[in-house]
Chains A and B, each alone.
Chain A
């Protein structure tokens, strides 16, 4: 099987539609389970009480904000190297969702910070670098809509996305490299190469389920968005005209 055939928008378009539906259903199911566990199954924390439960959305959102940026930059790089149309479309389809998760992470973090730390916001390395990530996403989207020619826009935005990648390890390791008010990572690689976590197992599972819910949501939304972008950019091609004539749903 030649995977590259899916890089043709005409073949990817119907496939993306089917995949999006599947991932949307999975996301809704996982979100229902995850939210139920967040509120009713996960135990109260010994120090922070019920307030800590905000981490079940805060941490997945923060992870997704970083992960989506990496995926977006990878698509942008692929688009620049192989000059495939679909790659840059995928990158631009991911940007709004990444910006949304960054915003959620910052917002829920502020709501968490006020009661626990005593401040909505501090200018420590973790918070500041995450704010820069939000600006990178917004800059990416702004630049894309400012340049009319989609190919030139893809090249300029791809460059921005790639330069911004350097911010991701800075966000992730900020709590390790510098003194920050933000606490360290609860889940990390142990020295022996395994994964260790400093939270109770049921809390960990709840967080993982919420993470997968966010992940599947991202895939479903990005694929739906990329379908719109494909139609927009390929509107003058034969296959789109034929499809519209046949009345594809």
Chain B
């Protein structure tokens, strides 16, 4: 075997070994690498109790309620399976809106209400001009209306 093939084999085997090690480590750390827990996991008691963690999901439509002080907000976070109610006092990011993704950091309080200390907006990977977004919404509404008429 030529020396150059030996070196090539050495590199290939090395890369395979490194890949296997990384895969095992990442697999073992799976739950620590996830940035947030979903409402389903929280309802199933998989999220830590008495400890700060992050909750991620979509803000449920028509669930945002403001208290009279103007700063405290209640809203539901959903993953379209389960729902967790969040209470937060403070300024929300610009992109926060109903139907939009959020990641809230805080603790589970009494009655299963998530008391958030920080709320971050998670935006998706879709980019388009407002006219296109309007047109898409209109088309969707029309399709829904047609579906309802039938």
Residues of A within 8 A of B (CB): 43-48, 52, 55, 77, 80-83, 115-119, 122-125, 162-163, 165-166, 170, 177-181, 183-186, 198-200, 203
Given contacts A82-B4, A116-B94, A118-B121, contact A166 B19 (CB under 8 A): yes
B121, A116: Cβ atoms closer than 8 Å: yes
- Among candidates B19, B35, B94, B126, residue contacting A198 with C-beta atoms closer than 8 Å: B126
A166, B18: Cβ atoms closer than 8 Å: yes
Query: Lowest 10 CB-CB distances: which A-B pairs, in order?
Result: A118-B93, A43-B129, A46-B133, A199-B127, A124-B35, A186-B125, A46-B130, A179-B34, A198-B126, A183-B125
Interface string of B109-139 (1 = CB under 8 A from A): 0000000001111111111111111100000
A180 nearest CB neighbor, chain B only? B35
Q: Does B14 contact A (CB under 8 A)?
A: yes
Chain B residues within 8 Å of chain A by Cβ, number: 39
Return A142 CB to nearest CB of chain B, in Å: 21
Q: Which of A44, A47, A82, A199 has the largest number of chain B CB atoms within 10 A?
A: A47
B26 nearest CB neighbor, chain A only? A170
A178, B33: Cβ atoms closer than 8 Å: yes
Q: Does B143 contact A (CB under 8 A)?
A: no
B120, A181: Cβ atoms closer than 8 Å: yes
- Among candidates B35, B126, B133, B134, residue contacting A181 with C-beta atoms closer than 8 Å: B35
A198, B127: Cβ atoms closer than 8 Å: yes
- Among candidates B30, B94, B129, residue contacting A46 with C-beta atoms closer than 8 Å: B129
A200, B132: Cβ atoms closer than 8 Å: yes
A76 nearest CB neighbor, chain B only? B11
The A contact surface, by secondary structure, is loop
Tell me, in angstroms, the Cα distance from A44 to B11 when the chains sit together. Answer: 48
Given contacts A162-B11, A170-B26, A200-B132, contact A183 B127 (CB under 8 A): no
Q: Which of A46, A82, A199 has the largest number of chain B CB atoms within 10 A?
A: A46
Given contacts A163-B18, A166-B18, A179-B38, contact A118 B120 (CB under 8 A): yes
A48, B123: Cβ atoms closer than 8 Å: yes
Interface string of B26-54 (1 = CB under 8 A from A): 10001001111010000000000000000
Return A212 CB to nearest CB of chain B, in Å: 19
25 residue pairs A–B, Cβ–Cβ below 8 Å = A44-B129, A45-B129, A46-B128, A46-B133, A48-B95, A48-B123, A48-B127, A80-B7, A82-B4, A116-B93, A116-B123, A117-B123, A118-B93, A122-B103, A123-B35, A125-B35, A177-B26, A179-B34, A179-B35, A179-B36, A184-B125, A186-B125, A198-B127, A200-B128, A200-B129
Tell me, in angstroms, the Cα distance from A117 to B103 when the chains sit together. Answer: 9
